Structure 1
Amino acid sequence: MADYDTIIRNAEVLTPEGLRPVDVALAGGSFAALLPRGEGVSEQTIDATGQHLLPGAIDIHFHIRAPAYPDRGTVESETQAAAAGGITTLFEMPISKPCCNTAERVEIRRAHFAEHAFINFGLYAAPGDLTDTSVQAMAAGGIVAYKIFTTPAPAGRDDEFFGLSFPDEADQMRALKAVAKTNLPIVVHAESAQLLALAEADMIDADLANIDSHLASRPAICEAVAVAKLLLMNIEAGAKLHIAHVTSALTVDVLRRFAGTSDFSAETCPHYLFRTHEDVRRAGVFAKINPPVRLQADQDALWQAIADGIITHVTTDHAAFSYAEKVGGAGNMVTAPPGSPGSEVLVPSMLDAVARGRISMEKAMALLSGNGAKRFNLPSKGHIAVGADADLILVDMNAKTKISPETLLTFARDVAQLYYGAEFQGRIQRTIVAGQTVYDGGIEGRAGWGHYVSPPAAATPADSRLSA
């Protein structure tokens, strides 16, 4: 009689105590035991000789927009791509058509994802009308967090951004205070609407088809001022504030100055850590992302912020548009669709940083998984320990990941030019969700396997400290 469903043998296993040469037993979708080499009996054995066994990535910033816009990808296509990229849980942002801004919309999206997802998923909601009744109802629906923008809704997309865009500072304060009552995080895309308008006004005679015009239209001061105001407001509001996709040295300096003043955290993304505006020039409109990819000095500051524990999360901001939409916007870099697919870049890029000695494996996986589980109060995820959910990846640090339209599974492979030709040291060999293989060089899972993840109701983690 087998003791376990599966035993993964001969890997180097990243545990909370560090890398250990143990075998890992899975049962009932959880980690059942960490065993001495060769011990235990199971129905299935996976030989992972020469590989690292790591917690699956928790991507806390992902846009599929389903069930709207299937021409940009579906839950099936994008969760399969995420699995191939080593992501076992993603948090879907509330931008859809219409916006996910009520408890009813949360339930509709939950049902859609539950039917189609290959990996675990959590949902963000927009705080909508900011009334306590509505905001609390969405929290009761099991969302992981709320999201707002400090910028106006893009032209023609009001229904996608209703209750999500709050360019007025008074409304931003109301949102912080309303969400604080739920004990859930509030994630903010922070750029000053007024300074963005000023920058665009200064470009009245600029060639907007030139890719440089995008960077000029969203200077770093726009991000830094918005972040500074939010952090100052949060001293009074007392929310669990999270700053999305930090891009600039100027914003890093703001985060440093406000350290310890309130409960806040910050993230950045691979396109800011591994690409600069010179790469954007080569990729053109396909590399237009808001906020923009900036200069080498900004990239250096982001890595230093990671080293110092100022930035504690790395996430994709996976945001795909169709090829036709991107090409159609090339004549105006200010209004062209912003976003790039990143589901299959996130983990390989950070493994490459480990291979190059820029960061330790322990810290990389804290940035990709453990810190997200702690910040968003998912105590059974983000670590390999008995009783935790068996969401994990096997990686070969001696193999390479090559990015091209032929290697990508995302529906948006034709707009991933920012990473075409990239080669990363380290490759995802297998992705396991709740104890079952969903990727092993190809997709093996099934639609609907992914579980809806929610924080314990009205609970505060016993230890929410992030790994700097």
Structure 2
Amino acid sequence: MSALDTLITGGEVLLPDGLHRVDLGLSDGKVAGVYAPGTAPDAAETIDAGGKTVLPGIVDIHFHVRAPAYPERGTVLSETRAAAAGGVTTLFEMPISKPCCSTPEELARRRDHFAENAVIDFALYAAPGDLTEASRDKMMDLGNIAWKIFTTPSPAGRADEFEGLAFPDEADQMRALQLLSDTGLPIVVHAESAALLAHYEEKAKALDPADAMTHGASRPAICESVAVAKLLAMNITAQAKLHIAHVTSAETVEVLRAFAGTSDFTAETCPQYLFATEEDVAKAGIYAKVNPPIRTKADQDALWQAIEDGVINYVTTDHAPFAKAEKQAAEGDFPGAPPGVPGIEFILPAMLDAVSQGRLSLKRAHDLICANGARRYGLYPHKGALLPGSAADVTIIDLAAQTTFSPETMHTHAREVAHLFYGRCLQGRVVQTILAGTTVFQDGSVTGTQGGGRFVTPGLGK
């Protein structure tokens, strides 16, 4: 009987201190050992990674599929298959659903639904709901990975999807921060000022709804930066484990710099803000509408500088699929178009492309999209590392190959509305994705099984 289930040989393996030419042994769903070439025990299976690079499987901490609602937009099965194709082995699903994941009952229902359908591992955010300790504690007992709130009101006609999630009133935001601060779990905030949004949306009614610039005019950077500044000021008192979602602007970067050291807060941005500008939105039309909006080249440059300076240490997908019919119905109407792009297959190739251009090192790129998130959410080194005892979650990449994006090459159900990414050719390609020692994607084909993913709860890294 072989000592190892699988041995990955011949590749450069990304360990916590950088790349090493070592062999990686996997057994019983975990990393069994890291070996000098030629010194590993016998294995039942050998994977030749010669010429390839071996990474810990990617952990995406900001993902939306909204299931079991809206299957026409994508399902847990379709979108976790897409995640596997993108080298992602663990995703954190946000609480927007129908109804909102803001009660213990809905959290349990979504957990069970994901467990039956997910191809990769998953964790679930919860919204704080009625802001009571009883509800909070029941959801923690069920294993939510973290909390999420919006500082914006519920979108028109979607009150049930945002019940207990949207807190436009600052007093309620403060209540939420204080209620959740002693849970030890991160509180992720979609931060835009409700009052300023109302002001600028009213002004934008005089603009051409078909013009991509109208969306940016209705949600300018000041809406984001003011909301973030207020949250960080509140957190000096609340002292919660705060995380600012999808930062888009130079203004907000300056706010983050100004509040450095005042409390335990972190911030993320997304590939759509790092690799696209409002000019790309104008070309792609309503298919590239996201909230907050994709902004200018100057904002994009500021985000890259913030990454270089360590002001922003997380890059997430904010994957948000919509049905083709929904997007098509909003042609020529940016204010009325559904906001979101399906980015789960884009994030790793995009960051590899940035590595190829010398923007950042491979280790830094991986930290941004994986290891830092695993650390922040208490999963490291079970997730986000390839060390003895870590989960055998592995992504094998080819830095010499390229990835092109089109409806024919993508796996997401929303591939027909991924216009923002069409035609892009990026340096770097996902070759194989391994979850708990089992291959779930290889050479363009998803091989993972429905229900093969596991529910991830806080504390696995302890």
Q: How much has 1:336 moved relative to structure 2? A: 1.3
Aligned-partner Cα distance in 1 for 2:277–2:448: 36
Task: Map residues 193-204 of structure 1 onto 2, 5 A cutoff.
Answer: 193-204=194-205
> Residue in 1 aligned with 2:127?
126
2:313 equivalent in structure 1: 312
1:11 aligned residue: 11
Give the fraction of aligned pairs with identical amino acids, expressed as a percent.
59
C-alpha separation between the residues in 2 aligned to 1:331 and 1:49?
Answer: 49
Q: Distance in 2 between matches of 1:144 and 1:75?
A: 18
The match for 1:285 is 286
Task: Give 2:370's aligned residue.
Answer: 369
Count residues with an aligned counterpart: 459
Q: Show the 5 A alignment for 1:416-435.
A: 416-435=418-437
Kept after mapping to 1: 8 A contact 2:393/2:434: yes
TM-score normalised per structure 1: 0.97
Q: How many angstroms apart in 2 are the aligned matches of 1:209 and 1:149?
A: 27
Structure 1 residue 204, shift from structure 2 partner: 3.0
Q: SS of 1:417's equivalent?
A: coil
Q: Does 1:447 align with 2:456?
A: no
Q: CA deviation at 1:131?
A: 0.4
Shift of 1:68: 0.4
For the 8 Å contact 2:248–2:295, the answer to whether it is kept is yes
Tell me, what secondary structure is at the counterpart of 1:318?
coil
* Aligned residue in 2 for 1:238: 239
Tell me the alpha carbon deviations over residues 119-158 of structure 1, each in whole angstroms, 9 at most, x when there is no partner.
Answer: 0000001100000110111111111101010000000000
Task: Check conservation: 2:212, 2:278, Cα contact below 8 A.
Answer: no
Q: Which string of whole-angstrom CA distances, capped at 9 and with x for unpartnered residues, describes residues 50-104 of structure 1?
A: 0000011110000000000000000110000000001100000001100001111
Match of 2:211 in 1: 210
> What residue identity is the alignment partner of 1:222?
C
Q: Deviations over 1:383-435 (max 9, x none)?
A: 11111111110000000000000000000001000010001100000000111
Match of 1:112, SS state, is helix
Q: 2:404 maps to which residue?
A: 402
Distance in 2 (alpha carbons) for counterparts of 1:331 and 1:294:
19
**Structure 1 alignment gaps of length 5 or more:** 463-468
Deviations 1:324-351 (A, max 9, x none): 1111122421221000000110000000
Partner Cα distance (1:197, 1:152) in 2: 10
CA distance in 2 between partners of 1:162 and 1:172 (Å) = 14
Matches for 1:22-61 after TM superposition, within 5 Å: 22-39=22-39, 40-61=41-62
Q: In the aligned structure 1, how far is the partner of 2:259 from the partner of 2:135?
A: 31
Separation in structure 1 between the aligned mates of residue 32 and residue 20 of structure 2, nearest angstrom? 16
Partner of 2:172: helix, strand, or coil?
helix
SS at match of 1:256: helix
Cα shift at 1:201: 1.6
* Conservation of the 8 A alpha-carbon contact between 2:219 and 2:292: yes
Instruction: Find the residue that maps to 2:89 and give its secondary structure.
Output: strand
Specify the alignment match of 2:459 in structure 1. Answer: 456
Aligned residue number for residue 331 of structure 2: 330
CA displacement 1:153-204 (0-9 Å, x = unmatched): 0000000000000000000001111111211111000000100111012123
Equivalent residue, structure 1, for 2:181:
180
1:414 aligned partner: 416
Q: How far apart in 1 are the matches of 2:261 and 2:420?
A: 36
The one-letter amino acid paired with 1:156 is: G
Post-superposition Cα deviations, 1:33-58, rounded to whole Å, max 9, x if no partner, equal 00111222000000000000001111
Indicate yes or no: 2:385 matched with 1:383.
yes
CA displacement 1:192-218 (0-9 Å, x = unmatched): 010011101212321112221101100
CA distance in 2, matches of 1:330, 1:311: 34
Give me the whole-angstrom Cα distance separating, in 2, the residues matched to 1:270 and 1:406.
21
The separation in 1 between residues aligned to 2:303 and 2:210, in whole angstroms, is: 29
1:261 counterpart = 2:262: yes
Quote the offset at 1:352 in angstroms. Answer: 0.5
1:466 alignment partner in structure 2: none
Which position in structure 2 is the counterpart of 1:225? 226
2-structure distance, mates of 1:202, 1:33: 61
| Deviating 4+ runs (over 2 angstroms) | none
Structure 2 Cα separation of the partners of residues 127 and 16 of structure 1: 35
